[in-house]
Amino acid sequence: MAELYALRPERMTVVPGARGWPEAYEYRMGGHVHRFKVHQQWPFAYPASEEFSSRG
């Protein structure tokens, strides 16, 4: 089971890896920093696109 939360974009920063690709994302709130490691990229940009649709 997984949950999705809408995070405030102005609090999120990309941490680039050695080759320039995202290695992690850091979410800052107050004095706290939560680091989200990048395990796998999922195509959320165009969910209605035929390329990513099961009906395509």
Q: What is the DSSP string of 1-56?
A: --------GGGEEEEE-TTSSEEEEEEEETTEEEEEE-S-----S-TTSTTT-TT-
Whether 25 shows a pLDDT value over 80: the answer reads yes
- pTM score: 0.59
Q: What integer is the mean pLDDT of 33-48?
A: 74
Q: What integer is the mean pLDDT of 24-52?
A: 78
Q: Which has more confidence, 32 or 2?
A: 32
Whether 35 shows a pLDDT value over 90: the answer reads yes
Q: What integer is the mean pLDDT of 12-25?
A: 93
Give me the percent of the chain exceeding a pLDDT of 70: 70
Q: What angle do CA 38, 29, 35 make, to 5 degrees?
A: 20
